[in-house]
Structure 1
Amino acid sequence: MRVEVPDADLWWPRGYGEQVLHEVELTLHHGNAPLDVWRRRVGFRSVGLDTSADAHGSGFTLVVNGERLFARGVNWIPDDVFPSRVTRERYRKRLRQAADAGVDLVRVWGGGIYESEDFYDVCDELGLLVWQDFPFACAAYPEEQPLRGEVEAEARENVVRLMPHPSLVLWNGNNENLWGFRDWGWEERLGGDSWGEGYYLGMLPRVVGELDPTRPYTAGSPWSGSWERHPNDPAHGTHHSWEVWNRQDYAEYRGEVPRFVAEFGWQAPPAHATLRRALPGEELAADSPGMLHHQKAEDGNGKLERGLARHFPSPQGDFDRWHYLTQVNQARAVATGIEHWRSHWPVCAGTIVWQLNDCWPVTSWAAIDGDGREKPLYHELRRLYADRLLTLQVRDGRLVAAAVNQSADPWTGPLTLRRLTVEGDVVGTATLELAVGARSVGVLPVPAELEPAGAKEFLVADGGGLPAPDASWSDGEDGGGGEDGGGGGLRAVHFPVADRDIALPRPEFRVDVTAGAVTVTAHTLVRDLLLQADRLDPGARADRGLVTLLPGEQVTIGVTGWETPDAAAARAALYCQEPAR
């Protein structure tokens, strides 16, 4: 049945318009007797996927209501090892956390499940786009009967079940299976046996085309659109960037500009209170028995240690410092990728961080740990996925300021650059004018005389005529970073050397505590200040993550769930970078 609805109000993703939903009731009659009633909420919107070829390869850009989007995404896994424990309220809390972090797309990963109706209802209400994988991941699947019939029946049932949701914008055939066949030795081991290709390139697009023809389908993630190219070719379609975490330094994210980064990430341990609950009585160490049991990535701790050593002084057996620095490094790694890729819109049209959530108390790539506590990465996403992002990047050997404007309004205003010493002395200043159109990126060269050099200098870019963001963090060596500091507006910070090589002064700051707030006033440069609120009380939460303060600047951190405010306790829960020992 087709029903014409003239002048329908459109449903928009969050940040682009309202999420208008309409109640629909359809009654099936036999004569005058009603036989059945179908009731749903629907939203009116169009969705397309632009994969056309261009000078850079072939794209992968979502288009909603005619608006081309840079997708600010997160990967979603089942929120609990027992799905029956995930209630509508828990879905709403977790997805609300995603929306509050600036996320506008949630990818339901193929190694998980089709989530319950509650998940998609909440996404409809919050304006979160849903990329839905069919449940095939990282494995070969036989295509013979009886499995083939089960696969088609399951696909048909869920396509029909989920198609009324306006938040659902993309069907994806599988996670990494086309890539796995090409690169993981499957072809030789299978010896000609079926492995799922017929599902992804035949059955599933046929089912979607028949039952849900208004939505795009892609055969897999990653997928370059054709066997004539490597499935994970960054110049074509979707790309999974895992070489960086597995074998390289996160600075290598800047080495390429994929068309759409559907997976990338970096590990860090969960919050301290989560570890204490999961490992009661254990003397915590990076390699203590409980910590190792809760690290399931192949050589996970080795990758953490190598990634840390490239950037930070060794914590030398100090677990609390190791815990803090690995969480800083996770935020730094993800920021390095997103800042670089967002600054190359529209060539790159989206990033989907692996991963938003977790299902147990483990060291992992999650931004929200298995107990629902937010890691520093979560707060960093709030800056990285804001409508407007200011970053300092190295392009062709020169430092540039990139202003990413995903809002509907032009971004204009002064941009102040300061070349500073780590002691706070001003070496040079300049004021540039930002003039960035809506949904676009502006790039301004930094004057050569303002480029910092050596271990004692850095560059700060302030301005844009905007209020300070709620959460903040400053990137380190070789790249961008942004925060609000103490001066308002947006801020980006660039150090020319690795953190371990910065001649940091010993941090000095004052701490003042009032009900619901901790205020820190910096007397020196204070880099990557973090209040670990769960150390004050397992139920406590801070409203921001990492922030770098210049001498004389002040930041107030909101704290909820802490009933007995105490300045000494607050100071003990504050961490920041310290000079190398």
Structure 2
Amino acid sequence: MSHPSLVLWNGNNECVWGFWDWDWKTQLDGRKWGWDYYSELLPALIAELDPTRPYWNGSPYSGDPELHPNDPRHGNVHIWDVWNQKDYSHYAEWNARFVSEFGFQGPPNWSTLTRVLEPADLDLESPAFLQHQKAEDGTGKLQRGLSAHLPEPANFREWHFLTQVNQARAIRFGIEHFRAGWPVCAGSIVWQLNDCWPVTSWAAIDGYGQLKPLWYAIREAYRPRLATIQRRGDGLAVVLVNDSAEAWSGTLTVERLGTASPTEAVPPVMRLEASHQFVFDVDPRGKTEICLPHDLRETERPLTDVLVARGEGLGHRDRILHFYAEDKDRIKEPARVTARASRVPDGIEVTVTAETIVRDVVLQADRLDPKATVSEQCVSLLPGESHTFRVASTVDGAEGPGLDAWSRYPVLQGVGIRPERIMPPAEFAPSISTEEGRFQ
């Protein structure tokens, strides 16, 4: 609801799971390990002290001590095989009843990194940088996640941006999959909200209180009304999830757009390849799935085509995008945008206009003002589309780096954008040095 609530009393975290799978039985050799606390003492105390709320033996737990505690068919599960062993697309293999813990790592914001590390330590192999990474083989797992989806970063600065974006994409992918699984899956909880110190981690808010791109992705993915494109068998479907108390109805237009290559048109233009309209009606607390016809779910040009679903209430810009190929394969030429910053009474506005498809545009305002906040992050644009980022900041450009710095690399970044491809309208951007520490 609109206020924090105590929903459930939980007996333990991963203790039942540990007893089953982490070689506890051999080490205990018949000795007690706490089960009586979780199954007898604690539920009896809760029944006496707070009979209004339910008690659950543990997280994860399947409701029966004879069942594996992380069985997706019962109770709640923790999903960690994805982060530890696989790529985030494997969240789609889970069809759990309730996901009470899952997460994916990303680095803290740039101002947090540079507050605790010297410039020479901005290197994936520096001891100081690794000291702020506590996951086993964390850097290797981050690299595996990047390699499946995104272009290879050229330096540490690009690595930082892309791994933050990949973390946001991973968790949003998981949330949307779990929500689209209603009523089998009734909910999910992300690990984790915030950090207690500056660290590369699963958090959405870093150790100095900076909102990472993940925070914005979580906000968007948990909107009361969600539109998402999901795989269904060998096809695609638009899944509309309505967790509000009011019915949701309207018309959905789904188009497959093709983009001319840079050699065919400068700037590239979008051409309509296929289009269909669907009338939808979603009950309160309900879900509707619209299976897409063959000419929308398949394409002979996966590297240049994009699927666009438009309709009222679909989230940012009232439309969602689906790409037929991963960015690492799709992006052959650098993305191009123009950007301009302007001062407004409560801060700065940065308007970005795309000349090509550009995904996940991020404004790293903390590079100029660690106390700044940004209205959105990870904004994707089609050619000709614009978006205005609103930055709440008290930094005076005359005393700092200047107004133009808010609309230039590396404050403004996007997947596939090179520094020289961010230009003021009708101008060329000044050259920017991108020399970094050694990158492996």
TM-score surpassing 0.5? yes
Counterpart of 1:530?
Answer: 362
Taking the aligned partners of 2:75 and 2:271, their CA distance within structure 1 comes to 47
Deviation track 1:160-191 (CA, whole Å, cap 9, x = no partner) reads: xxxxxxx2121000000000000000110111
Counterpart of 1:285?
Answer: 123
Counterpart of 1:558?
Answer: 390
Taking the aligned partners of 1:370 and 1:397, their CA distance within structure 2 comes to 43
Matched residue SS, 2:8? strand
Deviation track 1:260-305 (CA, whole Å, cap 9, x = no partner) reads: 0000000000000001111134430122222100000111111111
Task: Check conservation: 1:419, 1:452, Cα contact below 8 A.
Answer: no
Counterpart of 1:148?
Answer: none
Taking the aligned partners of 1:558 and 1:385, their CA distance within structure 2 comes to 22
Taking the aligned partners of 1:275 and 1:449, their CA distance within structure 2 comes to 46
Taking the aligned partners of 1:539 and 1:422, their CA distance within structure 2 comes to 39
Task: Check conservation: 2:105, 2:202, Cα contact below 8 A.
Answer: yes
Counterpart of 2:244?
Answer: 407
In structure 1, give the amino acid aligned to 2:219.
R
Counterpart of 2:187?
Answer: 350
Q: 1:452 to 1:529 in 2, by over 3 A?
A: farther
Counterpart of 1:541?
Answer: 373
Stretches of structure 1 that go unaligned for 5 or more consecutive residues are 1-12, 15-126, 129-166, 470-483
Counterpart of 2:9?
Answer: 171
Matched residue SS, 1:245? helix
**Percentage of matched positions with identical amino acids:** 48
Question: Residues 151-300 of structure 1 correspond to what in structure 2 (within 5 A)?
Answer: 167-300=5-138
**Alpha-carbon distance, 1:313 to partner:** 1.8
Taking the aligned partners of 2:370 and 2:289, their CA distance within structure 1 comes to 43
Aligned-pair Cα RMSD in Å: 1.5
**Paired positions, count:** 397
Task: Check conservation: 1:284, 1:319, Cα contact below 8 A.
Answer: yes
Q: 1:430 to 1:504 in 2, by over 3 A?
A: farther
| Aligned counterpart for 1:455 among listed residues 303, 307, 325 | 303
Say which is worse superposed, 386-395 or 534-543, in terms of deviation: 534-543
Taking the aligned partners of 1:407 and 1:261, their CA distance within structure 2 comes to 21
**Alpha-carbon distance, 1:193 to partner:** 2.0
Question: Residues 55-66 of structure 1 correspond to what in structure 2 (within 5 A)?
Answer: none
Taking the aligned partners of 1:503 and 1:293, their CA distance within structure 2 comes to 34
Taking the aligned partners of 2:331 and 2:258, their CA distance within structure 1 comes to 10
Taking the aligned partners of 1:535 and 1:508, their CA distance within structure 2 comes to 22
| Aligned counterpart for 1:437 among listed residues 275, 283, 286 | 283
Taking the aligned partners of 1:310 and 1:544, their CA distance within structure 2 comes to 25
Deviation track 1:517-556 (CA, whole Å, cap 9, x = no partner) reads: 1111112111111111111222222111101101111101
Task: Check conservation: 1:452, 1:495, Cα contact below 8 A.
Answer: no
Counterpart of 1:520?
Answer: 352
Taking the aligned partners of 1:280 and 1:429, their CA distance within structure 2 comes to 53
Are 2:208 and 1:371 equivalent residues in the alignment?
yes
Counterpart of 1:58?
Answer: none
Q: 1:545 to 1:346 in 2, by over 3 A?
A: same
**Alpha-carbon distance, 1:377 to partner:** 0.6
Counterpart of 2:221?
Answer: 384
Taking the aligned partners of 1:281 and 1:526, their CA distance within structure 2 comes to 29
**Alpha-carbon distance, 1:462 to partner:** 1.2
| Aligned counterpart for 1:496 among listed residues 314, 319, 324 | 324
| Aligned counterpart for 1:395 among listed residues 207, 229, 232 | 232
Taking the aligned partners of 1:523 and 1:553, their CA distance within structure 2 comes to 8
Question: Residues 445-484 of structure 1 correspond to what in structure 2 (within 5 A)?
Answer: 445-453=291-299, 454-463=302-311, 465-466=312-313, 469=315, 484=316
Task: Check conservation: 1:503, 1:579, Cα contact below 8 A.
Answer: no
TM-score (norm 2): 0.87
Say which is worse superposed, 522-531 or 418-427, in terms of deviation: 418-427
Matched residue SS, 2:17? helix
Matched residue SS, 2:176? helix
Q: 1:235 to 1:352 in 2, by over 3 A?
A: same
Q: 1:436 to 1:536 in 2, by over 3 A?
A: same
**Alpha-carbon distance, 1:255 to partner:** 0.9
**Alpha-carbon distance, 1:411 to partner:** 1.0
Higher relative contact order structure (alpha carbons within 8 Å, sequence separation ≥ 6)? 2
Task: Check conservation: 1:286, 1:322, Cα contact below 8 A.
Answer: no
TM-score (norm 1): 0.66
**Alpha-carbon distance, 1:505 to partner:** 4.0
In structure 2, give the amino acid aligned to 1:510.
T
Matched residue SS, 1:277? helix
Taking the aligned partners of 1:342 and 1:422, their CA distance within structure 2 comes to 31
Consecutive aligned runs of 4 or more in structure 1 exceeding 3 Å deviation: 280-283
Task: Check conservation: 2:230, 2:238, Cα contact below 8 A.
Answer: yes
**Alpha-carbon distance, 1:433 to partner:** 1.3
